[in-house]
Amino acid sequence: MTERVTKLRQQSLDRKPTLSSERAELMTAFYRDAPAAPLPILRALSFQYLMDRKALYIEPGELIVGERGPAPKATPTYPELCCHSLEDLDILDSREKISFALDQQARDAYRDDVIPYWRERSMRHRMFGELPDAWKHAYEAGIFTEFMEQRAPGHTVADGKIYEKGLSGLQAGIDRELAALDDLHDLDAYDKRQQLKGMRLAADAVIRFAHRHAQEVARLAAAEADPVRKAELEQIAASCAWVPEHPARTFWEALQAYWFVHLGVITELNTWDSFCPGRLDQHLYPYYKREIEAGTLTRERAKELLQCFWVKFNNQPAPPKVGVTAAESGTYTDFSNISNGGLKADGSDGVNDVTYLILEVIDEMRLLQPSSNIQLSKKSPDRFLEKACEVIRKGWGQPSIFNADMVVAELVRQGKSVEDARCGGTSGCVEAGAFGKESYILTGYFNLPKVIEVTLNDGYDPRTERQIGPKTGDPATFESFDQFLEAFRRQLQHFIDVKIAGSHIIERMYATLMPAPFLSIITDDCIRNARDYNAGGARYNTRYIMPVGPGTAADSLSAIKYHVFDHGHVTMPALVKAVRDNFIGHESLRQLLVNKTPKYGNDDEYADAFITLLCDWLFTQIDGRRGPTGSVYHVNYLSTTCHVYFGSVCGATPDGRHAFVPVSDGISPAQGADRCGPTAVIKSASRMDHARSGGTLLNQKFTPALLEGAEGLDQLAHLVRAYFKLDGHHIQFNVVTGDTLRAAQKEPEKHRDLIVRVAGYSDYFCDLTKGLQDEIIERTEQKQF
């Protein structure tokens, strides 16, 4: 790592996120005196107003320029979507985790300016005014979350067109569509014209923003005494004058072009999953190859540029979130997740020299953002997987690994062309998408264990003390397991319907009230359709529902069947009572449920049948349903931090889980449930049909000692290849730290799955004596990094 990068990286790490009221103030000023114009044009003009006025920031020494806020980590707000109250601001300022410091000036601006104007105009306010009680009650009970209540739809990724065409090239396309509009025969021609004009204006906004940087950097260059830095600044100024308006000419310009587009997307609206360059290695490779061959770029310089580019992502924390949204996604990470490797449009192996370069960048940078993943195809060389595993084994959580062949299979099953699927990948956490051509919106997490709880209470939620679901019978009277299953299926169907009904309202509100003209320009086929991204203009429009806690839910079903109906260890009334009592006074029964229930994650057909059943039902109830903009629903299994929130609103469950503790994450087994090692987890996880999802997330833990040496590395790679042969979608490895082991000492029940290498053998950590545990903790801490 060069001295420059070391410094920029450290500065980025040291900076504390702050809340900037700049954007909120500018938006308020614009809207107060807004011109009379159709909505798409109004939105585009507000965007121009912002981009023409926001403060510029150039960091000494940096090679890629541009920040979203007035300074790195100064995080803007989006009052047109979510207008924070003064109380929200206090919480954001003072909360222990994921806080945003703000000064008196920002507070005053909010009190005097922003709040009075936006309080009743924000999308959030209007949305909660429109949503039905059934939706609100289920939302408050914690059955599901709602992504769009504080942030805009986004969940999309760039393809290669911005490098190849430049924004002026895209504007030329807009002009062709405008010229072809036929007001006599096309009855939507007026609306289309406004959309297209808005897009054109939005592109101008970003081009002008780049030109402002060109002027500012040229000014700095003129004043620069150091000749080396002066030349760099002149080069940056020349780049900013050229990209993203025109096609990038060099590797360096390609990165700068993307970065301006990125800033445009995340400034226009606070889109979920910020934005992402996607298949960066594919997009950069032609520039890299040409310049390396011409001798105008060295590998070291390319790496330094990439590392400067990495720092820019880390300077943009996720916009401030409050309430349930903060709980479901409690992180500064804004889910830029760069895909590496994978396949080319023609189906051939996509790994190239830039792929390996990026792996080195990931290894050295170790930043929260951007996140990174590898797309591993059966065609990918083993060397690629090995290099990735070397980084993974260091244990800081990146890159995660995706099955590129499966991603293609999932996208094609959803109806994408095979070429679009191959040029896609995954973004956010694990979501499959056709990059540059798809709007794949996460609508919300869905709490499966909570539905079990509600079923056990005949549709009643004990925590909010409301009847939120249909009356499906008192389970204490159930005489067969099928009766329970049927009650559960009806509750599930009810809440999915409630969720989707609300999503229809929200989808329509965004389509009609909150166009995103800039995001529309760079997403095919919004220009050709002359329709906004938020109104179904993209080639593919997907809505995901993400069921959380399938492990906990499957284990709960297994426990009921096994202990009540198969073996008679406990009666249904006694089980219902114990669960309602949170097992207080029923510890012996709870131990039985925890320790002697067939559980998901152990390659046990009895338990895994419930995961298969759940996935079948969810698929049947969700997949293929249509939204009002022509969107199509699919299922996705990820949880971010929502398994913690969902656990905190869910009472005890029949698998022996106590009330209000986390439920299982992604498609991982419930905490401590898997007792047969990673191969068994993989076998269990592959019993669900990943092809019928838009992504699944599997977490695996290991201690550093378990995978030591060349052989350990090989076995890690083999484990991944085997999971992917079994059609798994994604796997990620977390190294077990001394802290985790200490937590396991304190609460063994939650960590029964922790396998450690003892000496010549591996054993479950919680089964070791205290002395031996202490020794392993000490050893683990020595081995890290």
Partner 1 sequence: MTCATWTDPAFLGIPVAEGRILRIERFAIHDGPGIRTTVFLKGCPLRCAWCHSPESQLLQPEFMPKPERCIRCLGCTMACPHHAVQPAADKGPVAPDACDTCGACVQACPTGAREFVGRTMSVDALMAEIERDRIFYDESEGGVTFSGGEPLMQPAFLLDMVRSCRASAIHVAVDTCGHADTGALLEVARDADLFLFDLKMMDEERHLAYTGSSNVRILHNLEQLAAVHSNILVRFPLIPGVNDDDENVRETGAFLSALRLTRVDVLPYHRAGMAKYDRLQRPYPLADTQPPSADTQAHVVRLLEEYGLIVRPGGSS
- Which of the residues are catalytic? 429, 431
Stretch near partner 1 under the rule CB under 8 A, chosen from 284-292, 571-579, 591-599, 735-743? 591-599
Does residue 678 bind partner 1 (CB under 8 A)?
Answer: yes
> Which residue lies nearer to partner 1 by CB, 620 or 679?
679
Q: How far is the CB of 342 from partner 1 (least distance, A)?
A: 20
C-alpha 517/C-alpha 580 separation (Å) is 51
> Which residue lies nearer to partner 1 by CB, 85 or 588?
588
> Which residue lies nearer to partner 1 by CB, 9 or 683?
683
C-alpha 391/C-alpha 713 separation (Å) is 10
Cα–Cα distances (Å) from 661 to 361, 552, 642, 704, in that order, read 37, 11, 12, 28
- SS3 (DSSP) at 371: strand
Stretch near partner 1 under the rule CB under 8 A, chosen from 73-81, 340-348, 493-501, 671-679? 671-679
470-499: b or e for each residue (b if 16 or more CB lie within 10 Å)? eebbebeebeebebbbebbbbbbbbbbebb
Does residue 718 bind partner 1 (CB under 8 A)?
Answer: yes
C-alpha 111/C-alpha 109 separation (Å) is 6
Is residue 309 within 8 A of residue 190, CB to CB? The reply is no
Does residue 592 bind partner 1 (CB under 8 A)?
Answer: yes
Q: How far is the CB of 650 from partner 1 (least distance, A)?
A: 23
> Which residue lies nearer to partner 1 by CB, 580 or 596?
596
Name every residue whose Cβ is closer than 8 Å to that of residue 140 and which is 6 or more positions away in sequence: 464
> Which residue lies nearer to partner 1 by CB, 300 or 587?
587
Residues recorded for the chain: 785
Does residue 721 bind partner 1 (CB under 8 A)?
Answer: yes
- SS3 (DSSP) at 696: strand
- Quick one: which of 189, 412, 676, 743 contacts partner 1 (CB under 8 A)? 676
Does residue 711 bind partner 1 (CB under 8 A)?
Answer: yes
Residues 737-776 within binding reach of partner 1 (CB under 8 A): 758-762, 767-769, 771-772
- SS3 (DSSP) at 443: strand
Q: How far is the CB of 484 from partner 1 (least distance, A)?
A: 22
Q: Binding marks (x or -) toward partner 1, 538..577, rule CB under 8 A?
A: ----------------------------------------
> Which residue lies nearer to partner 1 by CB, 283 or 690?
690
- SS3 (DSSP) at 657: coil
Does residue 714 bind partner 1 (CB under 8 A)?
Answer: yes
- Quick one: which of 10, 215, 467, 595 contacts partner 1 (CB under 8 A)? 595
Stretch near partner 1 under the rule CB under 8 A, chosen from 233-241, 296-304, 453-461, 715-723? 715-723
Q: How far is the CB of 479 from partner 1 (least distance, A)?
A: 25
C-alpha 688/C-alpha 666 separation (Å) is 13
Residues 264-303 within binding reach of partner 1 (CB under 8 A): none
Question: In this structure, what token pair is assigned to residue 83?
Answer: 């207008």
The radius of gyration computed from the CA coordinates of the chain, to the nearest angstrom, equals 26
> Which residue lies nearer to partner 1 by CB, 104 or 769?
769
Question: In this structure, what token pair is assigned to residue 322?
Answer: 């409050």
Q: How far is the CB of 771 from partner 1 (least distance, A)?
A: 7
Q: How far is the CB of 774 from partner 1 (least distance, A)?
A: 12
Q: How far is the CB of 389 from partner 1 (least distance, A)?
A: 13
- Quick one: which of 286, 330, 712, 738 contacts partner 1 (CB under 8 A)? 712
Name every residue whose Cβ is closer than 8 Å to that of residue 569 and which is 6 or more positions away in sequence: 563, 592
Q: How far is the CB of 406 from partner 1 (least distance, A)?
A: 15
Does residue 725 bind partner 1 (CB under 8 A)?
Answer: yes
Going by C-alpha positions, the residue among 372, 344, 348 that lies closest to residue 358 is: 372
- Quick one: which of 422, 683, 692, 730 contacts partner 1 (CB under 8 A)? 683
> Which residue lies nearer to partner 1 by CB, 318 or 755?
755
- Quick one: which of 168, 483, 648, 715 contacts partner 1 (CB under 8 A)? 715
Question: In this structure, what token pair is assigned to residue 395?
Answer: 């244990």
Q: How far is the CB of 96 from partner 1 (least distance, A)?
A: 33
Is residue 106 within 8 A of residue 409, CB to CB? The reply is no
Stretch near partner 1 under the rule CB under 8 A, chosen from 11-19, 50-58, 324-332, 708-716? 708-716
Question: In this structure, what token pair is assigned to residue 46?
Answer: 């507000």
Going by C-alpha positions, the residue among 410, 431, 408 that lies closest to residue 420 is: 408
C-alpha 558/C-alpha 615 separation (Å) is 15
C-alpha 338/C-alpha 157 separation (Å) is 9
Stretch near partner 1 under the rule CB under 8 A, chosen from 72-80, 128-136, 548-556, 721-729? 721-729
DSSP for 474-533, written as a single string: -GGG--SHHHHHHHHHHHHHHHHHHHHHHHHHHHHHHHHH---HHHHHTSTTHHHHT--G
Does residue 679 bind partner 1 (CB under 8 A)?
Answer: yes
Question: In this structure, what token pair is assigned to residue 142?
Answer: 């914690």
> Which residue lies nearer to partner 1 by CB, 166 or 678?
678
Q: How far is the CB of 721 from partner 1 (least distance, A)?
A: 5
Q: Which residue has the tokens 């950069």?
A: 284
Q: How far is the CB of 596 from partner 1 (least distance, A)?
A: 6
C-alpha 646/C-alpha 145 separation (Å) is 9
Per rule CB under 8 A, count of chain residues that contact partner 1: 35
Does residue 603 bind partner 1 (CB under 8 A)?
Answer: yes
> Which residue lies nearer to partner 1 by CB, 108 or 775?
775
- SS3 (DSSP) at 18: strand
- Quick one: which of 441, 719, 736, 777 contacts partner 1 (CB under 8 A)? 719
Question: In this structure, what token pair is assigned to residue 229?
Answer: 């830095």
Residues 139-158 within binding reach of partner 1 (CB under 8 A): none
- Quick one: which of 10, 94, 348, 588 contacts partner 1 (CB under 8 A)? 588
Does residue 713 bind partner 1 (CB under 8 A)?
Answer: no
Stretch near partner 1 under the rule CB under 8 A, chosen from 1-9, 325-333, 647-655, 713-721? 713-721
The continuous run of DSSP H or E covering 400 comes out as strand 400-403
Stretch near partner 1 under the rule CB under 8 A, chosen from 332-340, 462-470, 644-652, 709-717? 709-717
Cα–Cα distances (Å) from 88 to 23, 51, 80, 323, in that order, read 17, 27, 16, 9
Amino acid at 433: G
> Which residue lies nearer to partner 1 by CB, 467 or 679?
679
Name every residue whose Cβ is closer than 8 Å to that of residue 395 and which is 6 or more positions away in sequence: 704, 733, 734, 735, 737, 784, 785
- Quick one: which of 238, 345, 609, 722 contacts partner 1 (CB under 8 A)? 722
Going by C-alpha positions, the residue among 445, 463, 498, 397 that lies closest to residue 651 is: 463
Does residue 589 bind partner 1 (CB under 8 A)?
Answer: yes
3-state secondary structure 246-287: CCCCCHHHHHHHHHHHHHHHHHHCCCCCCCCCCCHHHHHHHH
- Which residue ranges make up the site for partner 1 (CB under 8 A)? 587-589, 591-592, 595-596, 603, 676-680, 683, 706, 711-712, 714-715, 718-719, 721-722, 725-726, 758-762, 767-769, 771-772
